[in-house]
Structure 1
Amino acid sequence: MDIESASTSGERPRRDPDREGQQPALGATEALVAAAEAELGIRFPDELREAWKTCNCNEVAGWRIFPVLDPANPRKTCGSVTYENLKGAWGQEVMAKGLVSIGANGTGIQLVLKVESGQAGSQVFRWHHATGRLTPWKPGIAAIAASATRSREFVLGRLRASGRTGSRPGQPGGLRCHSKSPPGRRKRSPPPCTWHAVACRGGV
């Protein structure tokens, strides 16, 4: 059973001994990115690799960029780039066309990269599941990198301003993901994202 399946079935997932006792990091480690690449048999472009290392949970204009699975935080990094491509609704179809999916907007349309000889290109396309048509995604991979940087800076800024840097979510002085919206705000479910990204959306 893989880590993501284990995290939803109640089985205790395997953890990285080097990360034991640490709070979930904002960015993925090089080892986690490399593990995802090895599982998919694909080398991702440097811009995307660095974006994951900067902030492993990212959204751009309504598109959820798939995170790299972090065994130290499996529930918040589920729906990872490996899971979505190997077991997701459209992943196998996408990969059969020589593509790899890196994001989605919840409608079945995917953000994909072309893969040649195991190397994913840096140009991002929209893949339409109904037609199989590819169209360039105008914001491009630079928008993903820029959003990751902004997300990281915003979260760190809030932590510094609150004096709660280093606290774990859910503990005294830490950032928490609330299940209920504050009074006067419409309740909405947080995205399948890491706790720090939820904090960015007002879950402090």
Structure 2
Amino acid sequence: MKDIINLIYGGKPGVDEETLNTTENSLGASFPSQYKELVKLINNCEIGEWIFYPIKDPKNIRKTWDDIVRNNQPSVRFTHIPEDLIQFAENGTGNKLCFKINNNKMEEAIYFWDCETGLTEKIADNLKQFIQQEYELDNEVDLDDE
């Protein structure tokens, strides 16, 4: 992840392993390795139009209260999102990015959940690929505008 950190916007300081373990225990599944690597470097980042939910950081509670655990609780979570998905980012329109849980582990693949249709689609094999895709999308030159 260090090789693509310059493609990521904003965020707060990364979290430590203990904080990650606490979050995984609360969610009932372990994070994919690339996601762990990312949030150790930068927490609550923005990639393209996507805002990643923070990992609640005891050192920065005020700025991380609306965290990934809270956003996956039944009282906050959209009811139509399949139970085998952990939502980790949103784009402000109700759409979510999710990891799929398999045997108490979140898979590396990134899934897009559409709030209007309720359909889920795999959009990247892993987080690094997703970040690169979003960067390329954000930096496309629209030749029709020139």
The verdict on a shared fold, with TM-score over 0.5 as the criterion, is yes
Deviation at 1:86, TM superposition (A): 1.2
CA contact (8 A) 1:42 1:118 kept: yes
CA contact (8 A) 1:27 1:56 kept: yes
Deviations 1:26-79 (A, max 9, x none): 110000010000011011101001100011121000100111101221111121
- Is 2:23 the partner of 1:36? yes
The 1:138/1:41 distance shift into structure 2, 3 A limit, reads: closer
2:136 corresponds to:
none
TM-score, with structure 2 as normaliser: 0.73
The 1:139/1:45 distance shift into structure 2, 3 A limit, reads: closer
Deviations 1:56-105 (A, max 9, x none): 121000100111101221111121111111156335643x5311001001
2:85 corresponds to:
99
Percentage of pairs with the same residue: 25
Distance 1:32 1:145 in 2: 24
Larger radius of gyration: 1
- Is 2:112 the partner of 1:126? yes
Equivalent residues, number? 121
Structure 2: give runs of 5+ residues left out of the alignment. Answer: 1-11, 133-146
TM-score, with structure 1 as normaliser: 0.54
Distance 1:44 1:77 in 2: 18
Distance 2:72 2:112 in 1: 15
Aligned partner of 1:45 among 32, 39, 44: 32
Query: The residue matched to 2:13 in structure 1 has which SS?
Result: coil
Distance 1:47 1:133 in 2: 25
Equivalent positions of 1:144-163 (< 5 A) are none
1:54 corresponds to:
41
Structure 1: give runs of 5+ residues left out of the alignment. Answer: 1-24, 147-204
Distance 1:30 1:145 in 2: 23
